[in-house]
Structure formats: C-alpha cells, structure tokens
Amino acid sequence: MEKNKREHRLREVNCPTGLNWSNLKAELKAVWESYIKDWRIEFAYPVSFVRQLISPLVFLLPFLLYGIALVGGRYSPNLEQLVGTGDVVTFIFTGYMLMGFIGTAVWAMGFSIRRERWFGTLEAIYVTPSSRLGQVLGMALHSTVHQAFGTIIQFIVIYLTFGLGLKIEGILPALAIFALMMLALYGFGIVISALGLILKEGWVVSDVLYSIMMILSPVAYPLVVLPNVAQQASALFPTAPALIGMRAFLIENYSAEAFGNVFLHLLALGAAWILFGILVFRLTDGYVRKRGMLKKF
C-alpha cells in the first residue's frame, strides 16, 4: 500500500530525523541532558564526588615524589640533556595532567554503555529515537569537565607546594592542542565504548588500553627513552604529539622531539579516530542487537 494511504490510516509521529537543523538541535539537546543526568547522579554520591576530585592529585604525587627521590631534588641533568629542561616537577606535572583525560576516553566513555547496563536503563535508552552516540558523548563531556576540575586542583596544590616553571604565553596554544587531542580521544573512546557492549569483562580492555597509552605517552619520561618501535606506535595515539606540543609551548627551553606539525598531526588523528569510532560503534550496535546481547552483563 502506498505511503500516503498508510499515513491516513495510522497515527502520525512527530520526530525529527535525517540531516537537518531540527534533528541536530534535538540530538544536541539529548547530549546535553545526558551530561546533566551524569552530574545529577554524581552529586547523589557526594563522598565519591569529592574523592574523585582529589584522585588525579593522588596518582600524580607518586610520580613526582619518586622523580624527586631519584635525583635528590627537582633538577635532573640527564633529563636536561634529553629534552632541554631538567625541571623534574614541571616536566611530570605537564605530562600527568593530561593522563586523566585519557581516562575520559578509556574509562568514562568505555564504561558509559556498561554503566547503563548496570543501572538497568540500557534497553530503555535503546528504544528511543536519539542516537546512542549522543549518550556516549554526553558522558564524555561530563567526564572531561570533571577531570578539568581535578586538574585545576592538581595545579593549585603542586604550584603552592613545589612551584611550577610554566610560560603564561604558552597557555592559549597549549589549550588549542589540548582541544585537538580531546577530539581524537573522543573518537578513541567511542571505539572503547563499543567494545564495552560485546566484551563481558570490558574493564580489562579499558585497563589494558589505559596502561598501554600510559607507556606510549611521554607522561613521566621523554619519548626517546622508549624503543623505536614504541616511539613509532605512539604516533597513532593523540597523547604523545599533544604532550610534546604542549610542553614545547609551556616549558622554557623545551626542545621538542621531532613530531612534525603537531596541529596537523592531531587534526588528522582526530578525523581518523572519530570516523573509525563511528564505524566500529555502528557495526557493534548491529552485532549486539542481532545477538540479543543488550541485557547481558
């Protein structure tokens, strides 16, 4: 039967779909509400909220204190030889402050779908016309803002306790690099969230990936310390070029390892990871719905 006749007999449904402003507006609103929802749930656990604000500082301190204990102060001649600066504290801080944002991709986004499954709300979300990716992005946004608060606390404590040698004029370009890094990390995070749907022990995958990225990213050591193969592999992830680029702008005398134009590199990585992420997510979505795996824990 023709569509017109169908519409006459059956009830019309008012729902924007497709590539148009109305649908984009509706999807963005869903992302925003997902972001608000996550904050509301977070504030329902105030002790956890406070603890998670200080945990970036807790995990930074061992790197700092260990580094200082190794060299007996905050200056390392060997580090200066490698990257032009021997300031152990500033070097580690600028590295570690980004690690929490890797956690956004790997843990927050990776666990976004699984967390909805744990709440029991995954199927209820799935039967709505909004994009599932929107949910994941809403949670990513929440985690990013959360992590930003944690980073500010890190900065304040470390600055007051140890002092930091940062160039103020480097902050804006560093933020631009940071934004490009987050774009690529979101794409990576979409891949992880898709894997979280099909793997029973998804947290294992998240932990493995986080640890690998931690090793391949020059967080607490220059990239040159890694074997050649690892250095080349690090180019596939946004954290290595982002860290090197940000340090070049923020730290005096920092001689960046050769990574070409960091902005172009990150743009290319961002586009690649986002496209790849969307592809994997779509494929996994179909796979999970075919196998009836939405409810499985």
Partner 1 sequence: MTKSAYQQPLLRSNLFVVWNEIIKNTKTMLAYPTIIVFWAIFPIFWFIPFILQGQAFVGGLESANFAQITGSGEYVPFIVIGAILNSYVNTLLYGVGENIRKEAYQGTLDYVLAAPCNKAYVLIGKAISESLSSTIFAISQLTISVLLFGMTITLGVMVPVFFITILLILGLYGMSLLMAAFSLMYKQSYDLSETIGYIFYIFAPVRYPVESLPTWAQIIGKFIPLTYALIIVRSIMLLGTDLSAVYLEVITLLIVDVILLLVGFYLFNWIEKKTRKSGIISHH
Partner 2 sequence: MVAEKEGEEFSIQTVNLTKRFTKKRHRGFFGFLRKNQSNHKHNGVTVALDKLNLSIRPGELFGLLGPNGSGKTTTIKCLSTILIPDGGTAIVNGFDSQKETAMVRASLGMVVGGERTLYWKLTARDNLTYFASLYKMPKKDAKKRIEELLELMQLADRADERLEDYSTGMRQKIAIARALLHDPPILLLDEPTLGLDPGFARQIRSQIRELSENQGKTVLLTTHYMDEADQLCDRVAFINRGKIVAVDTPNRLKAMVKEKELVEVAVYRPPADIEKHIHSLLPDAEVVKLIRGDEDKGNPSRIKIIGGTAEEHIETVIDALRQKNVRIGSLNVGVPTLEDVFIKLTGAKLTEGGA
Q: State the residues that interact with partner 1 by CB under 8 A.
A: 45, 47-48, 51, 54-55, 58, 61-63, 65-72, 76, 78-79, 81-82, 88, 200-201, 204, 207-208, 211-212, 214-215, 219-222, 225-226
Could you tell me the smallest distance in angstroms from the CB atom of residue 118 to partner 1? 9
Scanning the chain, the segments in alpha helix (DSSP H) are: 3-9, 21-43, 46-71, 77-83, 88-103, 110-119, 122-126, 132-161, 171-198, 202-216, 228-234, 239-250, 262-291
**Distance, CA of 239 to CA of 265 (rounded, Å):** 11
Return the one option of partner 2, partner 1, none that residue 220 interacts with (CB less than 5 to 8 A, by type). partner 1
| Residue 156 in tokens | 């304040």
Q: Based on CB atoms, which residue is closest to partner 2, 123 or 252? A: 123
Return the one option of partner 1, partner 2, none that residue 153 interacts with (CB less than 5 to 8 A, by type). none
Could you tell me the smallest distance in angstroms from the CB atom of residue 228 to partner 1? 14
* Phi-psi domain of 73 (left: phi exceeds 0; alpha: psi -120 through 50; beta: other): left
Max alpha carbon distance in the chain (Å)?
A: 83
**Distance, CA of 290 to CA of 295 (rounded, Å):** 13
Return the one option of partner 1, partner 2, none that residue 264 interacts with (CB less than 5 to 8 A, by type). none
| Residue 106 in tokens | 């790997």
Could you tell me the smallest distance in angstroms from the CB atom of residue 290 to partner 1? 23
Map tokens 């991709």 to a residue: 105
Phi, psi (deg, nearest 5) at residue 257? -65, 155
Q: Based on CB atoms, which residue is closest to partner 2, 40 or 160? A: 40
Q: Based on CB atoms, which residue is closest to partner 2, 260 or 292? A: 292
Could you tell me the smallest distance in angstroms from the CB atom of residue 28 to partner 2? 10
**Distance, CA of 144 to CA of 246 (rounded, Å):** 18
Helix (H, G, I), strand (E, B) or coil at 87: strand
Could you tell me the smallest distance in angstroms from the CB atom of residue 42 to partner 1? 12
**Distance, CA of 82 to CA of 91 (rounded, Å):** 12
Could you tell me the smallest distance in angstroms from the CB atom of residue 121 to partner 2? 5
Neighbours of 133 (CB within 10 A): 18
Return the one option of partner 2, partner 1, none that residue 228 interacts with (CB less than 5 to 8 A, by type). none
Return the one option of partner 2, partner 1, none that residue 212 interacts with (CB less than 5 to 8 A, by type). partner 1
Return the one option of partner 1, partner 2, none that residue 252 interacts with (CB less than 5 to 8 A, by type). none
Could you tell me the smallest distance in angstroms from the CB atom of residue 295 to partner 2? 8
Q: Give me the residues that bind partner 2 (CB under 8 A), please.
A: 1, 3, 6-7, 9-11, 13-17, 23, 26-27, 29-30, 32-34, 36-37, 40-41, 44-45, 119-121, 123-130, 286, 289-292, 294
